[in-house]
């Protein structure tokens, strides 16, 4: 258990010193973002916690190292995190990650002073390199109607946040879109121009609600320089828009050094090639080799933080412990 907890603490400590005193009387119930001098600026040190409300619905609880019950986002902030990422699905089964669920989590993050990243999947379920499935309600739409649906959905969710005085710092238009999104109309390998049009529908929709929010195009395999050059050259050649390049990095314990080096080189090259910032939206590694994962996170965070215009690193679902999620890259112990 200690090794698993150390894995998670390594992520936080690699970025900043602990923000809390374990003997403090601050609790999730009486705490507020004005009561303590938390570092919520500069390099983003964050986590995607989109499973959180579903986990809580199932009775999952979280604890400090002293065994005291704690609200999860509060605990992440106490450990030094300053950013929260939330995914959005269009019409998901059970309602998890729909507009209402995202708002609940965003309100909690905002109340704690977190910076916020919103991640539109433009799907009813997971969108990733292996699948970019259109929402059921969009299946028969023409290209023009599909662009209108992307824009309307984006505006709808973001307007709900705005109505509740929440302004995201970043918004992703698509999740891990290394081969585009909303297949087949937006499949990059067969229709890069179509992907660029759909991307721009999302980009313009974000700016119509939040003109100063940074729009991210997020691609998997952050170490793959050829993939990023192909996709972003393709977008640029077809009028595609973005403000920040996002990437994921999930090395195995056996290859983390090689892939981390390639990823860091890719970050520098992308900043130079496209004159735009880069943020590492997702990282993770199996917690079964905690010492290796600690080395990986320490190097990645330390060296990316030293790169001018690299905006931050976010761990993917550290709270989604394995006995609930079957996800072995979670960073909490199975006892919370």
Active-site residues, by number, are 176, 282
Which is it for strands 69-70 and 62-63: parallel, antiparallel or unpaired? antiparallel
Contact 46, 83 (CB under 8 A): yes
Contacts with 82 (C-beta within 8 Å, 6 or more apart), sequence order: 38, 39, 40, 41, 44, 45, 46, 113, 114, 115
| Pairwise CA distance, residues 250 & 297, whole Å | 11
Nearest 5°: phi and psi at 313? -135, 130
Nearest 5°: phi and psi at 33? -70, -15
Q: CB count, 10 Å around CB of 238? A: 17
C-alpha dist (Å) from residue 269 to 68, 143, 275? 45, 34, 10
Which residues, listed in sequence order, are joined to residue 245 by a DSSP beta bridge?
217, 278
| Pairwise CA distance, residues 8 & 206, whole Å | 33
Token code pair at residue 10: 């390594």
| Pairwise CA distance, residues 108 & 96, whole Å | 16
Q: CB count, 10 Å around CB of 333? A: 18
Phi/psi zone of residue 180: left (φ > 0), alpha (ψ -120 to 50 degrees), beta?
left
């Amino acid at each position: 258990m200690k090794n698993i907890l150390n894995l998670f603490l390594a992520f936080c400590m690699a970025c900043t010193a602990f923000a809390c005193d374990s003997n403090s009387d601050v609790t999730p119930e009486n705490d507020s973002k004005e009561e303590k001098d938390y570092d919520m600026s500069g390099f983003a040190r964050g986590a995607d916690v989109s499973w959180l409300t579903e986990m809580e619905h199932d009775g999952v609880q979280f604890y400090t190292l002293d065994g005291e019950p704690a609200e999860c986002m509060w605990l992440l902030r106490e450990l030094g995190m300053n950013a929260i990422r939330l995914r959005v699905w269009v019409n998901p089964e059970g309602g998890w990650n729909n507009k209402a669920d995202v708002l609940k989590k965003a309100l909690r993050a905002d109340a704690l002073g977190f910076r916020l990243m919103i991640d539109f999947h433009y799907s009813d379920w997971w969108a990733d390199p292996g699948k970019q499935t259109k929402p059921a309600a969009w299946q028969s739409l023409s290209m023009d109607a599909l662009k209108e649906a992307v824009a309307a959905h984006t505006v709808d969710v973001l307007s709900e946040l705005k109505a509740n005085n929440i302004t995201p710092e970043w918004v992703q238009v698509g999740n891990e879109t290394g081969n585009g999104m909303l297949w087949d109309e937006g499949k990059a390998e067969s229709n890069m121009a179509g992907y660029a049009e759909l991307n721009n529908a999302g980009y313009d929709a974000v700016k119509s609600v939040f003109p100063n929010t940074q729009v991210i195009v997020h691609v998997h395999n952050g170490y793959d320089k050829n993939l990023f050059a192909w996709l972003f050259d393709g977008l640029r050649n077809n009028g595609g828009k973005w403000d920040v390049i996002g990437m994921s990095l999930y090395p195995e314990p056996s290859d983390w050094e090689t892939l981390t080096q390639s990823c860091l080189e890719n970050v520098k090259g992308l900043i130079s090639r496209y004159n735009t910032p880069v943020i590492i939206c997702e990282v993770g590694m199996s917690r079964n080799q905690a010492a290796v994962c600690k080395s990986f996170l320490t190097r990645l965070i330390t060296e990316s933080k030293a790169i001018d215009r690299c905006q931050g690193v976010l761990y993917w679902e550290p709270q989604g412990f394995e006995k609930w999620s079957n996800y072995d890259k979670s960073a909490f112990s199975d006892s919370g």
